[in-house]
Structure formats: C-alpha cells, structure tokens
C-alpha cells in the first residue's frame, strides 16, 4: 500500500484552556482533492497549520509523506494561508522572485501564464490590488509549485462567484494526479463537485471521513445538505 500523504495519530492541540483538536486520527491518501469541512472554530485552520509545520502538536503526531513536519516536509507542502501575506510594497515580479528563491519546485512560467490569463501584469503593485485579486495572485503562486501536498485554507472565501469558478478550475487543471489538495472551507456547495473526499470536523473531532459519491449514494443528498443536517444549530 502506498503511504498516506498526511497521517495524524491522536493529534491534539491545546491553546490555553481551549482544546482546538482532540486526539484526531486521520489518514489522507495521495492523488485526491479533499475538503476539510466544519463550522467556524471547529479546528480546520489548526489542523492545516499543524500540517504546514507552523504549529507544534500538544500531544500525538502528524506526518507528511512519512516525515514529521520540518525542512523536508516544507519542501513538498504548498500552503495558502487564510490571510494574505504579500507585502504592499511589492510588485508581482518581486513576489515571483521571492517564490523562485524560496521554492525549488516553483514554476515561474506557469505562474506568469496564469497571471496573464487574468490580465494581471507582472509590474502591477500589490498595494493597488483589490482583496479578490490579491487572493487570486496568492493562489496562483501556491498552485504554481509542483508540491505533493497543497494546503488551501479558505481559498474561495473572499472572491466573487465567477472568480470562484476560475479558482476551482485552476485547482483542477494544475494539480498533478499524484498530489493531494486539501481545501478547507464552509462554502461547500461551491466546491463539492471537485472533491473526491470530505472530512467533517466538529469541535476538534473528525466526525466523518467519506467520499463525496458515497455520501450521495448512501444519503441521497448532497454533501452540503448533509453538512447542514450534521451541524444544525
């Protein structure tokens, strides 16, 4: 059997008195697009940050392609944070230089090509961009790496529906079939068509891990409808 790209064993993260993740055990395979779904404050971002190596587990462990988070895993993980980290003074070409310096697997030509298709010139300043455009630039950068694991934290939150479609298309057309993409979101209806599997997370626990077609087959309803049922307030 091939090794899972992401493996959590009794993974726990505590912030002071608050338990963000409680003994999560989870294995995610290679070559899939996986939705990490849960209401606000359920632990989605915490899990992604642990996988990205930005947080350390309080208990248990998390492994990326068999390795504990560190230099090796950061080289194969492409992470899109929920907040933009591009500095205002930069132009698009500066950011491209930046990524080229940092990541050996960055494909500059691909990034430039995608930017051109969105009419974003490389001389454009980050400062003058709208929030949505910044998000698009950042997603293009992240998807232009040839990573094994893409971690996208709320990639479609701040953009209009047309841009959302564009972003989803970018994800479908750019990930290679051995890579896994994890997308965290609560906008399920918009993305469920592109997902292989979904992980429902609630109050720091994984409550469901299943394929989208299995959910539809067994419940006769969409993932979005099931989510509304499971997390009914």
Q: Are 13 and 25 in contact (CB under 8 A)?
A: no
Q: Restricting to residues 19-38, name those near another protein by CB under 8 A.
A: 31-33
In terms of CB distance, is 92 or 181 closer to another protein?
181
230 binds another protein (CB under 8 A): no
Least Å distance, CB 19 to another protein, is 33
What the block records as the tokens of 35 is 């939705």
In terms of CB distance, is 3 or 193 closer to another protein?
193
Q: Determine which residue in the list 165, 178, 207, 229 makes contact with another protein, applying CB under 8 A.
A: 165
CA distance 225 to 232: 10
Q: Convert 25-48 to b/e letters by CB count within 10 Å (16 or more is b).
A: ebebebebbbbbbbeeebbbbbbb
119 binds another protein (CB under 8 A): no
178 binds another protein (CB under 8 A): no
CA distance 97 to 75: 17
Least Å distance, CB 172 to another protein, is 6
In terms of CB distance, is 117 or 131 closer to another protein?
117
Residue with tokens 């990524």: 99
CA angle at 132 for the pair 127 and 136, rounded to the nearest 5°: 90
Q: Determine which residue in the list 100, 113, 213, 229 makes contact with another protein, applying CB under 8 A.
A: 213
217 binds another protein (CB under 8 A): yes
Q: How many residues belong to the chain?
A: 233
What the block records as the tokens of 201 is 């997370």
Q: How far, CA to CA in Å, does 89 sit from each of 59, 85, 93, 94?
A: 40, 12, 12, 9
The site for another protein, by CB under 8 A, has a size of 23
CB burial class (10 A; 0-12, 13-18, 19+) of residue 5?
Answer: buried
In terms of CB distance, is 103 or 227 closer to another protein?
227
- Segment contacting another protein (CB under 8 A): 43-51, 129-137, 186-194, 198-206? 186-194
64 binds another protein (CB under 8 A): no
Q: How far, CA to CA in Å, does 81 sit from each of 23, 99, 170, 207?
A: 24, 15, 17, 24
In terms of CB distance, is 82 or 225 closer to another protein?
225
In terms of CB distance, is 40 or 173 closer to another protein?
173
Binding site for another protein (CB under 8 A): 31-33, 165, 168-169, 172-173, 177, 189, 193-196, 212-213, 216-217, 220-222, 224-225
């Amino acid at each position: 059997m091939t090794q899972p790209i992401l493996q959590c064993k009794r993974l726990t993260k505590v912030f002071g008195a608050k338990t963000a993740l409680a003994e999560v055990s989870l294995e995610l395979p290679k070559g899939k697009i996986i939705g990490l779904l849960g209401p606000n404050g359920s632990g989605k971002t915490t899990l992604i940050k642990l996988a990205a190596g930005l947080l350390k587990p309080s208990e248990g462990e998390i492994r990326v392609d068999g390795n504990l988070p560190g230099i090796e895993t950061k080289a194969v993980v492409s992470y899109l944070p929920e907040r933009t980290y591009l500095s205002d003074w930069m132009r698009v070409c500066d950011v491209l230089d930046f990524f080229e310096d940092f990541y050996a697997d960055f494909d500059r030509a691909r990034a430039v090509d995608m930017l051109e298709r969105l009419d974003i010139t490389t001389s454009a300043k980050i400062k003058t961009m709208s929030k949505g455009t910044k998000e698009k630039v950042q997603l293009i950068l992240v998807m232009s790496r040839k990573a094994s694991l893409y971690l996208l934290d709320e990639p479609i939150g701040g953009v209009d529906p047309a841009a959302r479609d564009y972003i989803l298309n970018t994800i479908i057309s750019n990930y290679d079939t051995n890579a896994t993409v994890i997308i965290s979101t609560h906008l399920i209806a918009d993305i469920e068509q592109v997902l292989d599997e979904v992980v429902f997370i609630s109050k720091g626990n994984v409550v469901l891990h299943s394929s989208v077609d299995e959910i539809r087959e067994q419940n006769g309803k969409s993932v979005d409808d099931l989510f509304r049922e499971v997390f009914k307030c």
